[in-house]
Amino acid sequence: MIEVVDVSKVYGPTPEEQVVALQGVSLSIKQGEFVSLIGASGCGKTTLLKILDGLIRPSQGRVEIDGNLVTGPGPDRAVVFQDFALMPWANVIENVAFGLSVRGVPKRERMDISAEHIAQVGLVGFETKNPGQLSGGMQQRVGLARALAVKPQILLMDEPFGSLDAQTRHLMQEDLLGMLEEENLTVVFVTHDMDEAVYLSDRVAIMSPRPGRVVEVLDVDLPESGSAEGRRSPEFLELTNYIWEKLRDAVRQQEEMSA
Amino acid sequence: MPRKSVLSRPLPTADRAAGVGDGNRHRLRWSLGTRTFLLRAIVPVAVLASWQLYSVVLSPSLFTPPPIEVFTALLRLPFEPGFLEAAGGTLLALAYGFGLAVLLGIPAGLIAGRVRLLGAIAGGYVALLLTIPMASLVPVIIVLFGIGLEARVAVVFAFALPLLVGDVMAGASSVPRGLLEMGRSFGCGRWQLGRRVIFPAALPEIFAGLRLSAARAVIGMVVAELIVISSGLGGMVTVFLARYQMDKAYAITFVFLIISGLLVGFVQYLESRFLKWRSSEEGAVHAAM
Amino acid sequence: MRHHLREIFTRYSMIVGLIPLVILFELVGRSGYTIAIPRLAEVVDGLETAAQRTDLVALIGTSLQSLFIGYILGVVVGTIVGAAIGLNRTAEEIFGVYVNMLIGAPIAAFVPLIIALFGLGQASIIITVFAFTGIVVTVNSMTGVRSVDSSLLEMAKSLGASRRATLSRIVLPSALPFWLAGLKMGMNRAFAGLVLGEILVAIVGIGGLIIFAGSSFRMGELWALIGIVVLMSLMFASVIGGLQRRFTSWSISTERS
């Protein structure tokens, strides 16, 4: 469904000051798949996600969705942001309805649809609250509801649980899987947490920095039920350890570089 | 009573931990409220009392009328011949000047805040206009516009505009990038982004600018009244001073202060109505603590 | 090399920014669109005439004298009062509200009263400058002292620092950027007060000359005098800006991070 073809992204005005965020990345994502992009900071995973959404244009290469070239954001994709990106001046239901309102959906309809999705993410009763009155986890649920409300085919999630504490994060991961069972979404999920990647995904694309590229793509062949015990199974640990081995050197290098 | 100072502030964490559910502390907090109010109220009373003392007992002089006389003069002002007309003219200049500054300044600031080149240039000139003494340009404005309403409107405008543009620019250029990306990802075009994301996000800063600019506008109005030989309140001050009717002259000064307070207060009221979400945010933060 | 140039540019950007305005001025002047804007040659002539007719240097000197006396008085009194209010919690509770109200208030409204009380002379000007400066410096000193990072105070207290040491080593340096900003704003307000005062008094200093030139439509002279005032205010602002940069580079860098 999604074809990433030899995508490169370079920043910088002159050759000396250039940063190669992505180099020659190619990836195929099937419909309905849950694919994680994991890597140390600077590996270009967020850049790749933004290119998928059309927010950034690649310097080279292209992205095709069902054969159509991606040139900008579109109704088939929706993003969930790491810092929630909620409008503090609007309440929950207005935030959820945002994407619909931009598209000109009439008020009645968009309120109804929003209410549905607010229920879906478990925030009934909070419709008139402002983001400032919500906890981090609740705010991200609003972000999720907003993305789901526009009925996308592809959900792009940029470290959505990164700003949450560990417990909330686990809860959100479980709830996310639950919600996705009902939909038939293709999900591209950026994370730096190996547990999260293995827990949620069908496939994990391991990326490494300087230049940003996909090093390997793993198949995650674990039972989908995703229970608490599942996280401790030997197969699960084998996978997460494997990923960690691949990442470790890059993470260490990153530490040394920023020192 | 031990003297309280910045240095003897209790350590915040211990304070918070001990505070919840402590009935005594609650009572203390309530009485702190009225106590503060009373102490604050003493200040104007003390000022007025010492003024009264000075002008009646210590140094009675034609030029320092006691507050009681000023107050009665103030109350009688509306009946002073020509006052209502003069006040009307002055307020009209303020309304036109400030209104014009708002109508031009907010869009200009929004655009300058988003278009980097314009912003750089505009920023420089805003800083320039805010540094130089605006009063020095008033004689030029008089030559350009004469000594009627237009001149005073121009002065108010000149005083109010730079600050407003500067603040609106700052607000528009500091919209969080994440919100802008979010807007674009959901399909906002340029205009939609401006209307749905940039403008509301910049609104707190815009209101701050409006408040300060309103104060500047009134200052401009006063300066205009004093320098431009006018038929407004400034003219009345001159007349009263010439006739040695000091109580009335002082009263007009207070009218200026009242106008300032009313206009700024009005902007603050608008601010609280349109930015309700801010207070709910702060309320939640306190509750969470 | 490029960075160095850019730094110089930003520092003197206000003065540099005048250049296009001056060019624009000359173009309008040449077109004769309005008598309010003459050609630059006339401005230069005006400067000469003013210098010949009056003792221009002495007048500028008087103005600057009023400015400095009023400014320094304002800074001294403002700093003391502001710091005193800021350091004492009760005082801040009581007076803080009023001090904040005073900033926005049109102090200009009091100038005619000041003139009535102190006469048509330099004394009124100095008092006006003092009033304009003092309020701003008071507020900034108050805010500066109040906004000392409480975690720093905690740290000092836990280390057992004496009151005096805390004041001099933590409060003072923390408040310094605010105070310097107050100095800058104070200078700005001082000029505003100077010009307004002198215009209203009309026989003193450069403001008096301005009103004289304006009322007799001697535009060349008028703009020359305005030019002098503008340049002086920009120069003094730059000087204080330089002081600010030198003494608070640490706070700027913490802001950025």
Domain of A250, CATH number, reads 3.40.50.300
CA distance C174 to A142: 40
Nearest C-alpha in A relative to B197: A87
pLDDT at C23 over 90: no
CB A142 within 8 A of CB A83: no
Residues of A in contact with B282 (CB under 8 A): 132
- From B285's Cα to the closest Cα of chain A, the distance in A is 8
Q: Are residues A166 and A139 in the same domain?
A: no
Residues of B in contact with C11 (CB under 8 A): none
pLDDT at C102 over 90: no
CA A155 from centre of chain: 7
CB B110 within 8 A of CB B198: yes
Number of H helices, E strands in chain B: 13, 0
Q: Are residues A117 and A221 in the same domain?
A: no
Q: Are residues A133 and A170 in the same domain?
A: no
CB spacing of C90 vs B4 below 8 angstroms: yes
Q: Which residue, C33, C230, C197, is CA-closest to C115?
A: C197
For residue A219, is it within any domain?
yes
CA distance C152 to C158: 10
For residue C153, is it within any domain?
yes
For residue C133, is it within any domain?
yes
Q: Are residues A105 and A202 in the same domain?
A: no
Instruction: Confirm or reject contact between C231 and chain B (CB < 8 A).
Output: no
For residue C252, what pLDDT band results from cuts at 50, 70 and 90? very low
Rounded to two decimals, the ipTM of the complex is 0.87
> Which of these three, A104, A122, A151, is where a domain ends?
A151
Q: Are residues A250 and A164 in the same domain?
A: yes
Q: Are residues A165 and A230 in the same domain?
A: yes
Which pLDDT score, from 0 to 100, does residue B213 have?
95
Q: C109 or A16: which carries more pLDDT confidence?
A: C109
Which pLDDT score, from 0 to 100, does residue C254 have?
40
Which pLDDT score, from 0 to 100, does residue C2 have?
60
Which pLDDT score, from 0 to 100, does residue C167 have?
77
Please report where in the chains the tokens 């309020």 appear, as a residue: C135
Packing angle of the helix pair C172-201, B199-227 (nearest 10 deg):
40
For residue C36, is it within any domain?
no
Q: What is the pLDDT of residues B22-80, one digit of tens each?
A: 444 445 555 567 777 888 888 888 888 888 888 887 777 777 888 888 888 888 888 88
- Which domain CATH number covers C168? 1.10.3720.10
Lowest mean pLDDT among C18-32, C54-68, C172-186: C18-32
> Which of these three, A151, A183, A199, is where a domain ends?
A151
Exposed / middle / buried, residue A229 (Cβ in 10 Å: 0-12, 13-18, 19+): exposed
How many structural domains is chain A composed of?
A: 2
Phi/psi at C85 (5° precision): -65, -40
For residue A81, is it within any domain?
no
Determine which helix (DSSP H) or strand (DSSP E) holds B261, and give its type and residue range: helix B246-274
Quote the domain boundaries for residue C165.
61-248
Q: Are residues A40 and A140 in the same domain?
A: no
Determine which helix (DSSP H) or strand (DSSP E) holds C88, and give its type and residue range: none
How many structural domains is chain C composed of?
A: 1
Q: Which residue, A148, A85, A111, A57, is CA-closest to B196?
A: A85
Quote the domain boundaries for residue A24.
2-76+154-258
Which pLDDT score, from 0 to 100, does residue B215 have?
94
For residue C253, what pLDDT band results from cuts at 50, 70 and 90? very low
CA distance B182 to B179: 5
Which pLDDT score, from 0 to 100, does residue B15 have?
36
Query: Which portions of chain A are predicted below pLDDT 70?
Result: 223-230, 254, 257-259
Spatial CB neighbours of B33, under 8 Å, sequence gap ≥ 6: none
Which pLDDT score, from 0 to 100, does residue C91 have?
85
Which pLDDT score, from 0 to 100, does residue A226 have?
54
Q: How many CB atoms lie under 10 A from the CB of residue C55?
A: 11
Global pTM reads 0.83
Q: Is C54 left (phi over 0), alpha (psi -120 to 50) or beta?
A: beta
Which pLDDT score, from 0 to 100, does residue B280 have?
57
pLDDT at C104 over 70: yes
For residue C203, what pLDDT band results from cuts at 50, 70 and 90? confident
Which pLDDT score, from 0 to 100, does residue C74 have?
95
Which pLDDT score, from 0 to 100, does residue C11 have?
60
- From B263's Cα to the closest Cα of chain C, the distance in A is 11
Which pLDDT score, from 0 to 100, does residue A229 have?
61
> Which of these three, A151, A180, A203, is where a domain ends?
A151
Residues of C in contact with B253 (CB under 8 A): 109-110, 112-113
Q: What is the pLDDT of residues A132-183, one digit of tens each?
A: 999 989 999 999 999 999 999 999 999 999 888 989 898 999 889 888 887 8
For residue C243, is it within any domain?
yes
Which pLDDT score, from 0 to 100, does residue A134 have?
92
Query: Which portions of chain B are predicted below pLDDT 70?
Result: 1-32, 279-289
**3-class state of residue A219 by DSSP:** strand
Chain A neighbors (3+ CB pairs < 8 Å): B
Phi/psi at C38 (5° precision): -90, 180
